[in-house]
Amino acid sequence: MELIAIAFGAIFVNNVVLKQFYGLCPFLGVSTKKSSALSMGAAVTFVITLSAIIAHLLYTLVLEPYDITYLSTIVFILVIASFVQLVEMFIKRFSAPLYSALGVYLPLITTNCAVLGVAIDATVNKTKIFGDLDPTVLHVAIYAFGISIGYALVIFLFSAIREEMDAYPIKKNWEGIPIALITAFIMAMIFVGFGGIV
């Protein structure tokens, strides 16, 4: 039950893009086509979930016992950057179709603040998310997976709306980013409605 609440909260209530404002650059940049939004969503899901697990293990097994938690920002960004490189090399070596679908998005993910944001939230700022509960690896994994599903869901829905919107004339000064922001505003209003559930 607890795990379901964590997952639901992560996907809808605290939606990573619309509520927490993580990962907006790719959200607005990549979401012009449904296919690229799906690939981005898949790549992000993979990287966020695994890097949050790695960050949690590092934090509880290394940083906390040796009392060097002030180094967590540096450690996490280095681990995430090298992890993304590793994933890229791995996919390139073993799966050509997967690489052609995700390859170009992987380097972009290093600077996606959702990855570092979730890693920090799940460790340094864990009371913000888990309250009094001391999160285990399972809790962190479920939370990170929920967050990334929320990301993939929103970026896909958003790209579908933007594809439709291309067919209609828009005033010149509203084209591109401004109209995308207004669309995101309406989506965010809808997601506010989930707030009462958990």
Partner 1 sequence: MAKQKSLKSVFSAGLFKQNPVFVQFLGMCPTLAVTGSVENALGMGAGVVFVLVVANFVVSLIRNYVPREVRIPIYIVIIASLVTILEMFMKAFVPDLAASLGTFLSLIVVNCLILGRAEAFASNNKPLSSIFDGLGMALGFTGGLVLIAFFRELLGAGTVLGMQIIPADYQISILVQAAGAFLVFGILVSQVNKIRLARMSESEVA
Q: Residues in the site for partner 1, rule: CB under 8 A?
A: 18-25, 28, 70-74, 77-78, 81, 110-113, 116-117, 120-121, 124-125, 128, 172-175, 177-182, 184-185, 188-189, 191-192
The smaller minimum CB distance to partner 1, of residues 22 and 143, is found at 22
Report in angstroms the alpha-carbon separations of 74 from 27, 77, 80, 171: 25, 5, 10, 44
The smaller minimum CB distance to partner 1, of residues 4 and 197, is found at 197
The smaller minimum CB distance to partner 1, of residues 98 and 108, is found at 108
Shortest distance (Å) from residue 84 CB to partner 1? 12
If one counts every other C-beta atom within 10 angstroms of the C-beta of residue 89, the result is: 12
Residue located via tokens 């707030």:
195
Residue located via tokens 């967050």:
147
The smaller minimum CB distance to partner 1, of residues 62 and 178, is found at 178
Residue 176, classed as helix, strand or coil, is coil
The letter for the amino acid at 188 is: A
The answer to whether the CB of 56 falls within 8 A of the CB of 122 is yes
Shortest distance (Å) from residue 187 CB to partner 1? 8
Shortest distance (Å) from residue 1 CB to partner 1? 27
